[in-house]
Structure 1
Amino acid sequence: MNDSLNLLGRILIALLFLGGAAQKLGDPVPVSAMIASIGLPVWLVWPVAAFNLIAGLGLIFGPGVRVWALVLAGYCVFTSYFHWQLRADPWQVTIMVKNWSIAGGLLILASTGPGRFVWWGRG
């Protein structure tokens, strides 16, 4: 049962990143505007979308689920800085706190590993 819950948890966390990739690829304008508002080049939306897609799939299927969990935890903490820059909007602060919470779950996953259910490679 623990391995099944682990897989379900990985899928649920990965949905956040896969959804982020779909959102950025489907309608890049809002994210591009946010990126531009903090002084970064808008073309960053494309590598970030690709990263979200690849990392989300890596979290579900492997290989290297532990590594993906660590990388994504760092990504969540790193991107929190950008939401903090927009802190006049209370929703952005909520997103920042959510990112830190997700990073905590990812760090737990990195420490425990993916369990038995990894499609490719090892956890």
Structure 2
Amino acid sequence: MDSFLNLAARILMSQIFLISGIGKISAYAGTQAYMEKMGVPGALLPLVILTEIGGALALLLGFQARWAALALAGFTLLSGLIFHFQPGDQMQMISFMKNLAIAGGLLMVVRHGAGAPGIDKPGGH
């Protein structure tokens, strides 16, 4: 049961980053313009895409999952502050709090690891 829960948790946490990173590739110019509108240099978009897709795949596969989760947690907190922390806008604040919850789950992976199954820990507990 633990192996199933570990894998399910990693799938649920990684899917948002994988889908988001792929979406940024297909809407590159629009994403870059939005970043710049929010005061973030558009030249950082390749790093954002690499962080989201690379971190998601590492987390999903259980490869260096603690480091991937740490990177994704930092990314999630930073992007939440930049793009969603708008106290006067309830919907943006809900998105900000979701970012906080995602970062919390990722920090649990930093603390406890990905568990089995995964590349770093294929069998056992």
| TM-score tier after normalising by the smaller chain length | 0.7 to 0.9
Unaligned runs of 5+ in 1: none
- 1-structure distance, mates of 2:57, 2:9: 13
CA deviation profile, 1:52-76 (whole Å, cap 9, x unmatched): 1100000011321112112211111
Moved more, 7-16 or 78-87: 78-87
TM-score under structure 2 normalisation?
Answer: 0.84
User: Residues 26, 105 of structure 1: CA spacing in aligned structure 2 closer, same or farther, 3 A cutoff?
Assistant: same
User: Residues 93, 28 of structure 1: CA spacing in aligned structure 2 closer, same or farther, 3 A cutoff?
Assistant: farther
Q: Given residue 112 of structure 2, which amino acid in structure 1 is its aligned partner?
A: T
Partner of 2:4: 4
TM-score under structure 1 normalisation?
Answer: 0.85
- 2-structure distance, mates of 1:29, 1:88: 28
Shift of 1:85: 5.6
Q: Contact conserved, 2:84 with 2:95, CA < 8 A, in 1?
A: no
Partner of 1:61: 61
- 2-structure distance, mates of 1:5, 1:66: 17
- Identical columns (%): 30
> What's the C-alpha RMSD, in Å, of the aligned pairs?
2.1
Partner of 1:71: 71
Aligned pairs (5 A) from 1:5-84: 5-84=5-84
- 1-structure distance, mates of 2:16, 2:57: 11
- The alignment partner of 1:48 has SS state of helix
- The alignment partner of 2:118 has SS state of coil
- 1-structure distance, mates of 2:100, 2:58: 20
Partner of 1:96: 96
Q: Given residue 47 of structure 2, which amino acid in structure 1 is its aligned partner?
A: P
- 1-structure distance, mates of 2:104, 2:85: 22
